[in-house]
Amino acid sequence: MPAPQPTALGSDRPDKRRLPVLASGALAREDRSDVRVVSMHPVTRPRSARISITDRCDFACTYCRPSKNDGYAEKRLSVEGWRTTIAGLVEAGVRRVRITGGEPLVHPHVVEIVRMISGFGVEDLALTTNASQLTRLAKPLAEAGLRRVNVSIDSLRADRFEAITRGGALAPVLAGIEAAREAGLDPIKLNAVVLRGVNDDELEALVEYAWARRLVPRFLEVMPIAEGAKLVHDHLVPVAEMRARLASLVEDEEPTTEPDRGPARYLRSRRDPSLRVGFISGTSDTYCATCDRLRVSSSGVLRPCLATDEGVDASEAAEQGDAERVPDLLAEAWAKKPDGRSFKGCTEPSAARVSMRAIGG
């Protein structure tokens, strides 16, 4: 059966510090009484989906990839395959979609995919990017229905940025952020993975850069997942330490979360309560019990958890246009989701064996 069509619904001073050396190398709709989910996870079905439309990326960040030549998946879903998949996910109750990669903006049909997903009337449509291609794509993406964007930017110093990303240029990323502002994407959140001895002295600078543009800076602990597992021992900066370093800038208060917007916890600026800074503590304080995210890999595998390789391959149904089958496959995948009350996410041994780029982060 063919898939249904959408319905309404800084400074560049040389840095003598060295980078760490890395080794190379759902439950269906409520009326679907035939579907049973046996997962012990407290969230009974996914409301949010992160779809990795490509595993390709023009960067090779040290905490994500072992090298710039680590290989790519043999197959990836077609645009029509994504149409079928999204139709099935919406049918199953997914209402929030985030497009990821790899780097989603290197996909030749990313604007078409955004327009297609927007046409299904999801409640929230966002995208995570390294912003290297955002200067030319911000306006077309906004016109296609993209609402907000997260930009990964780990340093405001060109030399550090190039080292962390293994060759990435900072200037196009900064220009892409400005293009996103001009296109009206809002909010724009800036994500920085904090690495001790690498970029941890830039917290204040990143906050000031973001707040000067009324953007939302967010700091992430490096997680022991994939390549990050090699860095945690020497380079983890816990969120508690980040907060202490930013004490002069943020309120001393209980951090708050955004409803249905992921695990980040936010503190308000001391000078302007409309400004915030976010923290994501995937290592020192996991948040599996409240996770409602399904991940879909670029090859069409429905994955219930970032920290394991468990999943259900939906690519055949997707490419055959069988959207009615997707909710059943989603339920099968969600039944594999670990119990979030005892499972400790990316701190579990299984996390070190997965590919962050392939899953979509």
State pLDDT tens for residues 47-85.
999 999 999 999 999 998 888 878 788 889 999 999 999
The pLDDT confidence band at residue 38, using thresholds 50, 70 and 90, is very low
247 Cβ contact list (under 8 Å, min separation 6)? none
Kindly state the percentage of the chain with pLDDT values over 90: 67
Q: Does residue 11 carry a pLDDT above 60?
A: no
Average pLDDT over residues 251-263: 91
* CATH class, 48-359 region: alpha beta
114 Cβ contact list (under 8 Å, min separation 6)? 99, 125, 127, 141, 144, 145, 146
Domain ranges in the chain are 48-359
Of 13-22, 166-175, 275-284, 349-358, the poorest mean pLDDT is in 13-22
CB 97 within 8 A of CB 138: no
User: What is the 8-class DSSP label of residue 21?
Assistant: P
Burial class (CB in 10 A: 0-12, 13-18, 19+), 7: exposed
Which pLDDT does position 61 carry in this prediction?
A: 94
The pTM assigned to this predicted structure is 0.86
Burial class (CB in 10 A: 0-12, 13-18, 19+), 253: exposed
Which pLDDT does position 19 carry in this prediction?
A: 38
